[in-house]
Amino acid sequence: MDIKTRISELLRILSNDLFDRESIFELTFLALFTEQPVYIFGRSGSGKNIIAKRAIQMFRDINVLTFAKRYQEIPKNLEDYQIVFFQGFDSKNPLCNNFVNITIQEKSARSLIMTSKERPEASLAEAGIADQVLFILSLPEIYSVNSLQKLLKENFNINNIIAPVDLLITKEEQIEWLKKIQTVELSDDTLKMIGQIAECCNENQVYVSIQKWLAFSLIIKTIAFFNGRSQTNITDTFFLGTPIWIRKAQNETITTCFKNSLTQWLYNRFPLISNLEESLTQLKQEVEHAINSNGDVYETILFNNIECIQYSITVAGESIPLYTPAAYIGTNQEFNPFNELKQKEKRVICNFMGDNVCRISIDSSAKKTGLRATTNASFGKTFEPFAKLPARVLRINDEEKIKKNKAIIEELKQTLVSTIEKNASAMIEFKELYKEVKNNKNNLFLNTEYFNYLQEAIHTQFSKISEHIQILKSLQESLMQKK
């Protein structure tokens, strides 16, 4: 039996009745295996001690030093114990605090597990070990209806679950496996995800010591090792986005950051999608402009380094200059013109509606008070038609302009061909990435929420690119019909 199958069977047997708590059990085991401190918080009867004992049951022939309510002296042979278990950790008890600090400071190949009904932010701060504990795990206060019904129906004896001895991990195996885990390579994707979460922690004043980052990387390598890999991948980092942090606000912040980091990871893998919408809008505008262009030459000025049509409108008794980019002539795109300060005037919307007449609509509030009396920051949501102003034509059927339009159309045809090819290539890559991620579906310690989130994000981008290709092909057909 290989290691993955063996650990999978162990996890299955020992978590079979830990409904809605399986992931906490798995993280507890990972902390014990890698000899990192873990704190399990939960109300009385929530199952925290059961989870701790089940995680300890993963190991064979180990010495466990258990502290319950009565604290006597720490044995002098502390190094002979592989696991130190503080059951019902009490930060108000000086002896308890002293013992746990000694256990952490004099660590010698030992794992530390604490269970408590004290909230971790207060308890760990009182004991002075908040920065030393790797995982702070909080149990849910309720069972889901389905889990409760299953628990009652199956009539589990939660205190009498025993795994076969031949599956249990011996101390010698733990030592051997930890040596091999050190050789597992952290992939570039893994390092980037760690970097983004670290940046999130820095921005939100969440202190994480270098020792804790090293421990996190060891957990990531351990997950890869137990899944039979010599290199980590992005799915091994998913636990970083789960509630393992000391405060509720930190958990919420980092969970949001982690999802954003997954999206950013996709953007980094496929830079094309970061400006997909903008590039398509730009191409649509250029194609519409080219199709509807004739040989007419318009009176323009160079404004904000852009060839623009200058208009003047009177709003609330004030004459207001507006500058519309000439590239919008002949398009059906809505846009904000420039004002005299060379800023986009968000209180005004323009649309040439496929010809050379600019339809101007104004924010209803600005229409009453004037554009200078309000600011771009205070524009409303209701726009009212205000004026229809044609662009002034200097020459019609200008040969040079006609020649230039034809050259633009040919250039756009080539651009569309190239863009369609790039998008088609990206679709193939997205399909391969989807398969690559999907291959991790049966991984041990996989956070299914983030797995599904990532799969859905990949599928969404794949569908979006497919839709864009269809739009690009329709633009291509429109250009082909232009004589």
Residue 265: the pLDDT is 92
- pLDDT of 377 > 70? The answer is no
Q: pLDDT band for position 378 (50/70/90)? A: low
Q: Cβ–Cβ contacts within 10 Å for residue 284, how many?
A: 18
Residue 390 sits in the same domain as residue 403: no
Average pLDDT estimate for 358-374 = 85
Q: pLDDT per residue over 114-152, tens digit each?
A: 999 999 999 999 999 999 999 999 998 877 778 777 777
Structural contact between residues 468 and 259, judged by C-beta atoms closer than 8 angstroms: no
Residue 436 sits in the same domain as residue 385: no
Higher-pLDDT residue of 95, 76: 95
- pLDDT of 374 > 70? The answer is no
What are the residues whose beta carbons fall under 8 Å from the beta carbon of 310, sequence distance 6 or more? 300, 301, 303, 321, 322, 323
Q: How far is CA 371 from the centre of its chain?
A: 40
Residue 32 sits in the same domain as residue 156: yes
- pLDDT of 206 > 60? The answer is yes
Residue 378 sits in the same domain as residue 405: no
Residue 212 sits in the same domain as residue 303: no
**Residue 374, SS3 per DSSP:** coil
Average pLDDT estimate for 326-354 = 94
Higher-pLDDT residue of 151, 209: 209
Provide the residue range defining the domain that includes 86: 1-181
Residue 65 within any structural domain of the chain: yes
Q: pLDDT per residue over 439-471, tens digit each?
A: 999 999 999 999 999 999 999 999 999 999 999
CA atoms within 13 A on the CB side of 28: 33
Looking up tokens 């696991």, which residue turns up?
A: 83
* pTM for this prediction: 0.83
Structural contact between residues 343 and 304, judged by C-beta atoms closer than 8 angstroms: no
Residue 73: the pLDDT is 74
Using the Cα atoms of residue 60, residue 48, residue 13 and residue 225 in order, give the sign of their dihedral: negative
Residue 443 sits in the same domain as residue 360: no
Residue 282 within any structural domain of the chain: no
Domain tally, the chain: 4
Q: Extract the tokens encoding 166.
A: 């031949």
Residue 274 within any structural domain of the chain: no
Residue 275: the pLDDT is 81
Measured distance CA(52)–CA(21) in Å, rounded: 12
Residue 429 sits in the same domain as residue 462: yes
Return mean pLDDT, the chain. Answer: 91
Looking up tokens 């969404």, which residue turns up?
A: 460
Q: pLDDT band for position 159 (50/70/90)? A: low
Residue count (the chain): 483
Higher-pLDDT residue of 279, 157: 279
**The last residue of a domain, from among 335, 366, 395:** 395
Residue 376: the pLDDT is 56
Residue 94 sits in the same domain as residue 125: yes
**The last residue of a domain, from among 395, 429, 453:** 395
Residue type for position 325 = P
Residue 159 sits in the same domain as residue 52: yes
Residue 16: the pLDDT is 86
Residue 109: the pLDDT is 55
Residue 358 sits in the same domain as residue 263: no
Residue 418 sits in the same domain as residue 384: no
Residue 277 within any structural domain of the chain: no
Residue 324 within any structural domain of the chain: yes
Residue 103: the pLDDT is 87
Higher-pLDDT residue of 154, 310: 310
